[in-house]
Amino acid sequence: MAIAATTGLDNTVERPGERAPLVLGNTTYHTITESVSSIAEQPPSKLWVLGFLVSASLASMFGLLIAYLIYNGVGVWGNRDPVFWGWPIVNFVFWVGIGHAGTLISAILFLFRQEWRTSINRAAEAMTIFAVVCAGTFPGIHVGRAWLAYWLAPYPSLNLWMWPQFRSPLLWDVFAVSTYGTVSLLFWYMGMVPDLATFRDRSKNKWRRMAYGILALGWCGSSRHWMRYEKAYALLAALAAPLVLSVHTIVSFDFAVSQVPGWHTTIFPPYFVAGAIFSGFAMVLTLMIPSRSIFKLEHLITVRHLENMCKIILATGSIVGLAYGTEFFIAWYGQVPAEQFAFINRAFGPYWWAYWTMITCNVISPQLFWFKRMRTDPVLIFIVTIFVNIGMWFERFVIVITSLSRDYLPSAWGYFSPTWVDWGMLIGSFGLFFTLFMLFCRFMPIINMAETKATLAHQLRHASHHVTEH
């Protein structure tokens, strides 16, 4: 018999002085399984098919543009003297940042035993993997001779011409991003094993049963399996937690260790980490708000989940705003003319429109989350997160482009103009990202059923104890 029915409790009841429940309605263990499993078992909706066709078309365009780039050379981009780091590096840093929320939600919040992560961590982990795939594409095609990109891998050879300087942060990126992607993939997959076994046991098609059976690694739900699972999951969480700080710190070193005005600053590591968490949480909300509506998951992904993520966006957005102001203060306080000019040029030079777009989207729009109504309205949250995603892309654009276009000598100044290939690759990378995410929603458990059931059990025990006392 269903637990909620036997206790006579309604999970939607919010008692005075208590937090809103994380599982709504008369939800039972069985309805959690049905809600998540039915997404993969039922035929895809017309809306999903339409979205997949659009995103897959954009991803195909991305692949064709990469082939076009390799055939014609990097001159098809807008990268010109003095801006040799154009949109490919902007897109690389943007996508690495997007992937940060998944590891933070999954690893750090797990270690701190925050139950509100349970309904959103699976999609956030998947988003991390797909963002790393998008990010890793751009360095590979930015090396010039893309057919020699395998030189980036540390294979045994006497001709590793891509590895002449182990003190270069560009080399550190290879280790940091590959480690981040590997640990995140293992963490994501490890957490899905119990749910994949559920999909296996429910499958009526022998091919689906075989596929899910292979992925479930022989899971049978015994106490021994659960003990090993929990130990392995906790170990991977402990390994992944430092990566939240290390990966984007190392990406910031690409800029901070240089002598280019506007880049050579010690604030970049914490500033980049805060910005990555900021943009990552915004992208999680951008994906989860439509998903909870399309797949009818409002009882599992509740307004409390959305509100908690909005609070983190507000906190990290304020940190990013403080970093913007600190950069200007240090440039003035340091009395280095080139640094002072670099930041004045950002705000009032030829790229003023990009700078003030960044300020509006990253600093002003998150302040709306001070108001509870804004934090609890999914439509308004979705709109703000779109602005945050736009603003964080413009932040990387401002850092890369404005600092390079006007450095020390006016005779070397130039204005960067993107080509149609730049635009196509930016849009195509989003197509690749959304294609992978939609396939994940269609064939994998979008919500961690095992942890959500544990959250429901804790919620019901607490409610039962409350009823007994009163």
pLDDT (tens digit, 9 = 90+) per residue, 272-297?
888 888 988 899 899 989 988 888 88
Average pLDDT over residues 320-344: 87
- The whole-number pLDDT of residue 385 equals 93
Least confident window among 10-19, 68-77, 179-188, 437-446:
10-19
| Model pTM score | 0.87
Least confident window among 99-103, 295-299, 396-400:
99-103
pLDDT at residue 432 is higher than 90: yes
Q: Which residue has the higher pLDDT, 467 or 76?
A: 76
State the number of CA atoms in the 13 A half-sphere of 109 facing the CB: 22
Tell me if 327 sits within 8 A of 266, measured CB to CB: no
- The whole-number pLDDT of residue 55 equals 93
User: Of the segments 74-78, 322-326, 338-342, 466-470, which one has the largest average pLDDT value?
Assistant: 322-326
Average pLDDT over residues 364-369: 92
- The whole-number pLDDT of residue 9 equals 44
Q: Which residue has the higher pLDDT, 395 or 156?
A: 395
pLDDT grade, residue 265 (50/70/90)?
confident
- The two tokens of residue 410 are 């006016």
pLDDT in tens, 5-38: 433 344 544 554 567 777 777 778 888 888 888 8
pLDDT grade, residue 468 (50/70/90)?
low
Summary mean pLDDT of the chain: 84
pLDDT at residue 365 is higher than 60: yes
Give the Å distances, CA to CA, from 276 to 128, 209, 248, 319, 388.
12, 38, 7, 11, 11
- The whole-number pLDDT of residue 32 equals 85
What whole-number distance in Å separates Cα of residue 216 and Cα of residue 193?
5
**How much of the chain exceeds pLDDT 90, in percent?**
21
The b-or-e profile of 211-224 (16+ CB within 10 A means b, else e) is bbbebbeebeeeee
Tell me if 26 sits within 8 A of 11, measured CB to CB: yes
Tell me if 176 sits within 8 A of 247, measured CB to CB: yes
- The whole-number pLDDT of residue 414 equals 82
Q: Which residue has the higher pLDDT, 319 or 2?
A: 319
- The whole-number pLDDT of residue 238 equals 87
- The two tokens of residue 377 are 């309205």
Amino acid identity of 32? I
Average pLDDT over residues 314-334: 90
Sign of CA dihedral 244, 385, 20, 124: negative
- The whole-number pLDDT of residue 315 equals 92
Domain boundary assignment for the chain = 3-147+166-469
* DSSP secondary structure letter of residue 78: S
- Domain 3-147+166-469 annotated CATH 1.20.1630.10: yes
Nearest to 304 by CA among 20, 104, 102: 20
pLDDT at residue 4 is higher than 60: no
pLDDT at residue 181 is higher than 90: no
Give the Å distances, CA to CA, from 107 to 122, 237, 303.
11, 4, 22
pLDDT in tens, 203-244: 888 888 899 889 888 888 888 988 998 898 888 888 888 888
Tell me if 256 sits within 8 A of 264, measured CB to CB: yes
Q: Which residues pair with 80 in a beta bridge?
A: 83
DSSP secondary structure letters along 134-182: HHHHHHHHHSS-GGGGGGGS--S-S--TT-S-TT-HHHHHHHHHHHHHH
What whole-number distance in Å separates Cα of residue 462 and Cα of residue 37?
27
As a whole number of angstroms, the longest Cα–Cα distance in the chain is 80
Q: Which residue has the higher pLDDT, 321 or 414?
A: 321
Average pLDDT over residues 151-180: 72
Least confident window among 150-159, 238-247, 383-392, 452-461:
150-159
Q: Which residues pair with 83 in a beta bridge?
A: 80
Our CA angle for 441, 444, 446, nearest 5°, is: 55
The b-or-e profile of 353-391 (16+ CB within 10 A means b, else e) is ebbebbbebbbebbebbeeeebbeebebbbbbbbbbbbb
Q: Which residues contact 176 (CB under 8 A, 6 or more apart)?
A: 246, 247, 250, 251
Report the phi/psi class of residue 219: left, alpha or beta, with left for phi > 0 and alpha for psi in -120 to 50. Answer: beta
- The whole-number pLDDT of residue 8 equals 39
pLDDT grade, residue 411 (50/70/90)?
confident
pLDDT at residue 51 is higher than 50: yes
- The whole-number pLDDT of residue 297 equals 84
DSSP secondary structure letters along 101-127: HHHIIIIIHHHTT-GGGTTTHHHHHHH
Task: For the chain, give the number of residues.
Answer: 470
Residue 83 φ then ψ, to 5°:
-95, 85
Containing H/E element for 459?
helix 449-469
